[in-house]
Amino acid sequence: MEFEMYLKNSGIEFLKDHPLKDLTTFKIGGKARYIIFPKSTEELVKVLTLAKDKAINHVVVGNCSNILVSDKGFDGTIIATVKIDFFKIDGNVIEAECGAMLSQVARKACEAGLKGFEFAVGIPGTVGGAVYMNAGAYDGEIKDVFEWAEVLDENLNPVELGRADMRFSYRHSRLKEEKMVLLRAAFCLKFADKEDISPLQKANEFSKRRREKQPLSYPSAGSVFKRPPNNYAGKLIEDAGLKGYRIGDACISEKHAGFIINLGDAKAEDVRKLIYLAQKTVYEKFGILLEPEIQFIGEFETPLFVPENVQNRR
Ligand SMILES: Cc1cc2nc3c(=O)[nH]c(=O)nc-3n(C[C@H](O)[C@H](O)[C@H](O)COP(=O)(O)OP(=O)(O)OC[C@H]3O[C@@H](n4cnc5c(N)ncnc54)[C@H](O)[C@@H]3O)c2cc1C
């Protein structure tokens, strides 16, 4: 109650007992006690400080485009950064706040004749989510263009991190390891040369490829699994005979077996059952354990698959 009073008195936008499915690109997820939308990094810091002081269970999210939320929801506070969205381009450097949409930032960079961010035009997340995940596509990754970030460490101390501090690897960054919150980041690009294909044209070609290969007309969270070394999750799932497999309204996409799509009223547990099935079947057929790329919020009844030999070692 005290927390709610503080939010009201500070004029900070929030929703109470609201379904998270309204936020997630999967259109799945039960209620959170509070969903808060800070409008500035200062408001974000205030909310985080209060949540820490009052020991309130909380998670910072961006556009929820890589998240499966439990049907039971989240017994705590979701802090969504999507309204902290200022960014500017100065020469070949872009500075963006955590909630700026990566696709918009990348498109503006391409329009300004800058190359290096074409890969990001079709990724539907925020700058914060993209740096946290080291998002990437078409041979490009955030780590290739990242310059610095202003973050808060677990104790909410402000820290500035350069590229070498970030421990980027495939869909991984230091933010994940140390529960850091990204406030803003800078990216450094290059001006396209006359002989280069124009960055905008390249970005449009990537977007066209996405529309051809990905089931973009259905709600999803993109690729569910990380790419295993020298292989593709979608191909393994397809070769395991699971393309089009459906549980409730959750379905392994016919168009791209690496995606699970929501055909209408899919439950998070249906998605978890498909994840388990895909992991188990692929493991039994090919000996490869698929690791989820998507992040989970809340509690699930269906576990992730753990091979027996790994279980025995525990
Ligand atoms: C149709 C579709 C296509 C996609 N294609 C791609 C693709 O090509 N490549 C790719 O990499 N991904 C892809 N994705 C997944 C997703 O868009 C990316 O992972 C994106 O970077 C997530 O950003 P977000 O703002 O939505 O993060 P969220 O989903 O909101 O959060 C993801 C994680 O980041 C954390 N987080 C978010 N903001 C912050 C912050 N400010 N500070 C600290 N932690 C934070 C959250 O706690 C969570 O753990 C796709 C998704 C969809 C739906």
For the segment 126-152, what is each residue's pLDDT rounded down to a tens digit?
999 999 999 999 999 999 999 999 999
Amino acid at 199: P
Confidence of residue 312 (pLDDT cuts 50, 70, 90): low
User: What whole-number percentage of the chain has pLDDT above 70?
Assistant: 99
* Ligand 1 close to Cβ of residue 63 (< 6 A): yes
For the segment 200-211, what is each residue's pLDDT rounded down to a tens digit?
999 999 999 999
d(CA 87, CA 95): 6
Mean pLDDT of 172-182: 96
The pTM assigned to this predicted structure is: 0.96
Residue with tokens 């506070």: 77
Nearest CA to ligand 1 atom 15: 66
CB contact at 8 A, 233 and 223: yes
For the segment 218-254, what is each residue's pLDDT rounded down to a tens digit?
999 999 999 999 999 999 999 999 999 999 999 999 9
pLDDT of residue 2: 84
What are the structural domain ranges in the chain? Answer: 2-80, 87-200, 216-307
pLDDT of residue 237: 98
Instruction: State which of 35, 40, 43, 61 you would mutate to test the pocket of ligand 1, scoring each by most atoms of that ligand within 8 A of its C-beta.
Output: 61
Closest CA to 109 of 184, 191, 185: 191
For the 2-80 domain, the top CATH level (class) is: alpha beta
Residue 314 reports pLDDT greater than 70: no
Pairing of strands 74-80, 31-37: parallel
Confidence of residue 313 (pLDDT cuts 50, 70, 90): low
Indicate if 171 belongs to the active site: yes
Intrachain domains 2-80 and 216-307 with the same fold: no
How many helices (DSSP H) and strands (DSSP E) are in the chain?
Answer: 10, 19
Neighbours of 232 (CB within 10 A): 15
Ligand 1 atom at shortest distance from the alpha carbon of 219: 53
150, β-bridge pairs: 160, 184
pLDDT of residue 302: 98
pLDDT of residue 196: 86
pLDDT of residue 194: 86
CB contact at 8 A, 125 and 61: no
Residue 10's H or E segment, with its range, is helix 2-10
CATH 3.30.465.10 is the classification of domain 87-200: yes
pLDDT of residue 92: 97
d(CA 277, CA 271): 10
Task: Specify the fold of 216-307.
Answer: 3.90.78
The region, left, alpha or beta by phi > 0 then psi within -120 to 50, assigned to residue 27 is left
Residue 310 reports pLDDT greater than 90: no
- Per-residue CA distances from 274 to 225, 264, 303 (Å): 12, 16, 11
Per the prediction, the chain carries an average pLDDT of 96
Tell me how long the chain is.
Answer: 314
The single residue of 33, 107, 171, 227 carrying the catalytic annotation is 171
* Ligand 1 close to Cβ of residue 68 (< 6 A): no
pLDDT of residue 242: 98
